[in-house]
Structure 1
Amino acid sequence: MEEPVVIGKDKFKISDDETARRELRIVKVSDNVIQVQEEVHGIIALVGASSSVNIKKEELKNLIKVAREEFGWTDICE
């Protein structure tokens, strides 16, 4: 796998004395597969059998741009 490309970063307050950091990255797994990774620090969470990624509109635009320009996926819409 290639090195991840960061397409979004932010911080959000989860209590009066704790702030969480979030980073959204994408990695090219193969010619036809990319992986979206969301890493959150500062939250104690229970891990279940499924997961989800929250993506902002600007991050989606960045994801499409990286997929086209860095991963060569020129046949996807913008």
Structure 2
Amino acid sequence: MTEIRYYKIGEDRFKISEDEVARRELRVAKVSDDVIQIQEEVHGIIALVGATSSVNIKKEELKELVKLVREEFGWDI
């Protein structure tokens, strides 16, 4: 099985209450020649599990994502 390598394209922290700060990290991996996976990890928030999933991407992170898939994954976008 091929090892999937993750590339970090974003990271930040934000205040969610008086005493708690959450940490967010955005990563991308090449799953196959025509599929990438974007993961957003948020630590510090108690969350409920739901049936939907979303990833928040900032403008600078999107620019980094496009650059990464061109240079590292060989995609012509």
- TM-score higher than 0.5 here? yes
TM-score range, shorter chain: over 0.9
Q: Which of 27, 46, 52 is 2:48 aligned to?
A: 46
TM-score, with structure 2 as normaliser: 0.94
CA RMSD of aligned residues (A): 0.7
2:72 match: 70
The alpha-carbon deviation at position 54 of structure 1 amounts to: 0.5
Q: Deviations over 1:5-31 (max 9, x none)?
A: 000000000000000000000000000
What is the distance in 1 between the residues matched to 2:49 and 2:55? 14
Q: Which runs of 4+ in 1 moved over 2 A?
A: none
Identity of aligned residues (%): 75
Q: How many residue pairs end up in the alignment?
A: 75
Structure 1: gaps of 5 or more residues: none
